Chains A and B, each alone.
Chain A
Amino acid sequence: MIEMVAALMGGVLYGLIIGIVPSAGATTGLIALFGVISYFAHEPYLGVIFLMAVVAASTTGDSFTAILLGIPGANSAAATMVDGFPLAKQGRASYAISAAVTTSTVNGLIWGCLVFLLFPWYTNLIMILGIPELWAFTMLALATVGFLSTKNWIRSILAIAFGIFIGMVGTDPETNEARYTLGWFYLEDGIQIMAVAAGLFAIPELTKGLFTKSQTASIVKDEVLVGMKAVWENRWLAMRGGFIGAFIGLLPGLGGQMADWMAYGSAIAANPKEEFGKGNIKGVIGPEGANNSQKATSMITTVLFGIPGAKFAAILMSLFMYLNFEMGTPVIAEDTKFFASMTFGFLGATVIVAILCIVLIRPICYITSVPYIYYFPFLIALVVYTSMQYTGGWEDLAMLAIFSIIGFTCKYFKFSRPAMLIGYILAEKIEGLTLQLTGLYTLETLIIRPIFMILVISIIVIFIYSFMRKGKIDYA
């Protein structure tokens, strides 16, 4: 039990710091763990607790930078920043932070309980859904990422296609022949996720932090209880945000910003006579309800089907592989200790980080006033070290450099990097499931499967909808 608590506390502290550090966040924090995760190999369940604590703590922690600096620690706090930062500049930072942390905690606990405590029950789904349904579900993930998560869907489709392409580099599963490796043996085992994730996300985001000018707001008066009271007064708004986040988290491949912006939009729509963007607490409570619930529900598709619910989940899935937990398999479905560890890690961290954030609100705020230049070398070193965990040779560095260039390019030209990452993660699954589907099923046996047909129709509807909708927000 002491070891579990130690792993939990370690995850909370790391997650909180990585959440608070400007431009870092859950995804970057998880990427940096590839270099050390194998130290949990002897006690993999402690590793699960640690990782889930990192996810929960960083999701709550990133509210600090969004509110105090006007820089989201992760993209998922961007919506919180719109009204949170103006509040902080008015000297009401503790009011905004307290409201954000309370909303995050309540939704994290509600949706965390609904997801993690009931996980063993959801596992029945993996026996109901066969290869055709998994194939269609994977396609649905690509459709939602490609068409719903961005207004630039053509760029998004290109990003997915490129992601799938890099995911197919390696060895052809049909023939065992090297594929798209340009004769480089290093690539025959595929392009490794550490370089892809670090290059696409960590390096560009950390570098961006160097050039982001921030005005640091500070806590003028203590309004922690007022912030908590504001959440109670807007409890239905907080709940609605949580529900929106939970729903988006369930849709494979979405999550993150989309849920937050939708929750923020719903807060505006529900209060048409109020002004937003200049320090309305409802603009903080709405989106903050969404990001923790989204993190919880996106674990359902990740664990049960091996289809990441969001980009953080894609990284998490790979880290679990290092601990010998393969998502979407009967072994996982029957592993009650795995689910118990996830529950303990996520819910425990949600509670602890809330207490820490409220009790230590002033010291934590001082952390945000440390110039980013001091974090930068450490974080870059950590990411480079992580990227060299495959062979430790120059090839790893070369891949990191290549994907960093791709990451910067995608960021500049607004090609969806989450779409690219999810395409890359799902490439192997798409190819494998397609081979299995065509090998085991015929058109006649497919059209009589109702869930398969519903999923296929959903994909078609999403495709048609993407042509017709207007007034879209760019989440890329």
Chain B
Amino acid sequence: MRKLLTALFIFAATPAVADYTMVIPQKPGGGTSQWAQIVATELEKYLGEKIILKHIPGAREIPGFNKFHNELRFDDKTIMVSNGGNGVSYLNEQVDYEYSDYESVGLMNLNIITAHQKIHDPYGDKPTSFSGGGGKIPEGIAMTILKCGNMTTENYIACFKEKVNWIKGMKGGSRRLAFKRGELDGTRDNPAAFKKHVQPSIDEGQAVLWFHHGILQTDGSHADDPNYPGIQMENLFYDMYKEAPNSELYDAYKLVKSFRDGLQKSLWVNKGNPNRDKLVAAMHELANNSESVAAIQKKVGNYDWLIGEAGDAHVRTLKTFVTENALKTLVEFNKEAFGIKAIYKPELVK
């Protein structure tokens, strides 16, 4: 009853006493919305001020971030929440937002794990059926590189069409169900969702781990994930081909996986925001409290926060992957292999 009354009180009183606004670029109920809700609740405790959530949904979560960039960021009490999808859109869609214009409050540098059916040989003759779509670009490229070895982008495109059955039109729920029923050969999830939805199939002997992308380090390398050791894409490649992956598509892969997973869940304020230090201090307190951390990790898995300056350094590391060739290759592969729209943005290279 107390919780209900508290909720009603918050409902009635929030607009009057709220101090911070957290802008979420999607409708309530989405993954990032839920994450933001948890973070806002925890962060309020250390900030000592209220945070209200403002949902600005729109196609591929672009309008909300654009609105932050063009208008809302100039308000010192506005925090932006972004996700990996924003990172991917930034690379090959026309968007207004620009990460260099903001300062990081905190971000979570995550990873994505994949699995395949035990009876399916991902390197055999039968193409691997995998749920496609804009959010799975790094997985699609990684499996192409793993299946095909080092080659030219043109050959990769042909190899993808031959060895990957890219199934479109699936959302998270239908993808998980199709994999569980054995209709899809492969699947992917973030670590927390993987543990919940895919691990049971592995434990029952229906599925096996395939690969993950690794975790971005400050020096630009990707390290093995201690939660799922030994199956980082680069390690598997080396085991199979006795050489490191080395191709234009591999550069594009590093670029897109880093922007998606490295910015999977992020909080931003405008550059020079006077409240940033206060927010960063609250984030440090949050990250040091095991209860708060556990509440957030329940949603995304056991990964550390990059807070304040560490987040800014992370963005600078991400920018080192942005090269003309990597961007052009990514655009080409998106269009020719995945059949999705993509534009080359020369301004990113500058």
Bound CA span A38–B30, Å: 12
Q: State which residues 118-167 of B face A: CB under 8 Å.
A: 129, 133-134, 165-167
Bound CA span A322–B341, Å: 29
Q: Which residues of A contact B196 (CB under 8 A)?
A: 331
Q: Which residues of A contact B3 (CB under 8 A)?
A: 3, 42-43
> 0/1 per residue, B1-35, Cβ < 8 Å to A?
10110010001000000000000000111100110
Bound CA span A177–B56, Å: 21
Q: State which residues 1-56 of A face B: CB under 8 Å.
A: 2-3, 6-7, 36-43, 46
A382 shortest CB reach to chain B, Å: 15
Q: Is A474 an interface residue (CB 8 A)?
A: no
User: How many chain A residues touch B (Cβ–Cβ < 8 Å)?
Assistant: 50
One of B1, B58, B169 near A189 (C-beta < 8 A): B58
Bound CA span A38–B57, Å: 14
Are B4 and A38 closer than 8 Å at their CB atoms? no
Bound CA span A41–B41, Å: 12
Q: Which residues of A contact B63 (CB under 8 A)?
A: 185-186, 189, 391
Are B168 and A439 closer than 8 Å at their CB atoms? yes
Q: Is B170 an interface residue (CB 8 A)?
A: yes
Q: Is A330 an interface residue (CB 8 A)?
A: yes
Are B170 and A189 closer than 8 Å at their CB atoms? no
> 0/1 per residue, A87-129, Cβ < 8 Å to B?
0000000000000000000000000000000000000001100
Are A435 and B340 closer than 8 Å at their CB atoms? no
Q: State which residues 401-447 of A face B: CB under 8 Å.
A: 431-436, 439-440
> 0/1 per residue, A329-342, Cβ < 8 Å to B?
11110000000000
One of B1, B34, B165 near A324 (C-beta < 8 A): B34
Q: Which residues of A contact B59 (CB under 8 A)?
A: 170-171, 178, 185, 188-189
Q: Is B183 an interface residue (CB 8 A)?
A: yes
Are B177 and A126 closer than 8 Å at their CB atoms? yes
Q: Which residues of A contact B4 (CB under 8 A)?
A: 2-3, 6-7, 43, 46
B177 shortest CB reach to chain A, Å: 5
> 0/1 per residue, A318-357, Cβ < 8 Å to B?
0001111010111110000000000000000000000000
Q: Which residues of B contact A173 (CB under 8 A)?
A: 133, 168-169
9 more A-B residue pairs beyond the given contacts A6-B4, A38-B55, A41-B29, with a C-beta to C-beta distance below 8 A? A127-B181, A173-B169, A174-B169, A175-B339, A176-B340, A185-B63, A186-B58, A324-B29, A439-B129
Return 22 A-B CB contacts under 8 Å, by A number: A38-B28, A38-B55, A42-B3, A46-B4, A170-B59, A175-B340, A178-B59, A186-B63, A189-B58, A189-B63, A326-B171, A328-B177, A329-B174, A329-B176, A331-B176, A432-B170, A433-B169, A436-B167, A436-B170, A439-B166, A440-B183, A440-B184
